[in-house]
């Protein structure tokens, strides 16, 4: 029951809980998008959610699904799905913020149509690393490199957020393609949320199970990660020399 785990935060009726909480939908029209947030805060965990993205001409729309803390030095772990013209692939945009600093984007095409059915998007967040996965296939790993002076999200509890909003000033081909409001309302759907995670409450956290707490990728997982990065990654900040003329960020040196 998604009602137990989430509350709708904005959208003036555009977000809906359906089927006794089995399904949550967000909608966007010209007047407004919509969003929701988790009732709990988490500090480390394995977070899974099934999403079905906006179908058809979704250019200009962004479906964001992410973990975030509060404050000026916030931590954040992002999935963002950048819509596109019918027939063009969605772009899956990922980012990691630690202590208010992000700029760690990696972008991917998917090997399936994310609008045709539900697919599982997962975040494994433990003291060793953050692993982004799609249908159980790892697509990105961000290692804890605090020993090299790279901040890592480990002290601030985060809530899960999602929103569907209009970003046609940047999202689709760098603002070249605008939202076609004749296609509205745009709708994204959510179901089958699972959080095998530590819940933060009153200054401490409790974990129902922590089998994931020291989980590393096995050789099969590393092979799948390499396969995705070789065949489906379309942008990696660690390869963008124009952006870092003074030298790449420290974490890029260990890749």
Check 41, 76, 105, 146 and give the catalytic one: 76
The tokens describing 26, both together, are 């967000």
The tokens describing 111, both together, are 């090997």
Residue with tokens 């995670």: 197
The tokens describing 213, both together, are 């707490």
Active site annotation includes 216 = no
Question: DSSP letters along 34-96, please?
Answer: EEEEESSEEEEEEEEEEEEPPPS--TTEEEEEEEE--STT--EEEEEEE--STTSPPEEEEEE
Helix H or strand E segment including 134: strand 129-134
Core vs surface per residue 75-114: b (16+ CB within 10 A) or e: bbbbbbbbbbeeeebbbbbbbbbbeeeeebbbbbebeeeb
Active site annotation includes 76 = yes
| Cα–Cα dist 76/31, whole Å | 28
Residue with tokens 């030095």: 73
Q: Return all residues near 197 (Cβ < 8 A) that are at least 6 apart.
A: 42, 43, 44, 45, 46, 47, 207
Check 22, 41, 80, 251 and give the catalytic one: 80
Q: Which residues are catalytic?
A: 76, 80
């Amino acid at each position: 029951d998604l009602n137990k785990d989430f509350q709708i935060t904005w959208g003036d009726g555009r977000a809906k809980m359906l089927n006794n909480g089995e399904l949550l939908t967000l909608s966007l029209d010209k007047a407004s998008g919509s969003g929701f947030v988790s009732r709990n805060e988490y500090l480390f965990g394995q977070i899974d959610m099934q999403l079905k993205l906006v179908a058809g001409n979704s250019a200009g729309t962004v479906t964001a699904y992410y973990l975030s803390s509060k404050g000026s030095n916030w931590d954040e772990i992002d999935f963002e799905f950048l819509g596109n013209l019918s027939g063009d692939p969605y772009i899956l945009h990922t980012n990691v913020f630690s202590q208010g600093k992000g700029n760690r984007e990696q972008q991917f095409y998917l090997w399936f149509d994310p609008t045709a059915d539900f697919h599982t998007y997962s975040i494994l967040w433990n003291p060793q690393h953050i692993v982004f996965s799609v249908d159980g296939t790892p697509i990105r790993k961000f290692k804890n490199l605090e020993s090299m002076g790279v901040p890592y999200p480990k002290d601030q509890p985060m809530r899960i957020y999602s929103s569907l909003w209009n970003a046609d000033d940047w999202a689709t081909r760098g603002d070249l393609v605008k939202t076609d409001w004749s296609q509205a309302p745009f709708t994204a759907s959510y179901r089958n949320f699972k959080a095998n995670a530590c819940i933060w409450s009153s200054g401490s956290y409790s974990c129902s199970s922590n089998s994931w707490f020291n989980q590393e990728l096995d050789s099969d997982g590393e092979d799948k990660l390499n396969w995705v990065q070789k065949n489906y990654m379309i942008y990696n900040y660690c390869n963008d020399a124009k952006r870092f003329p003074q030298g790449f960020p420290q974490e890029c040196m260990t890749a």
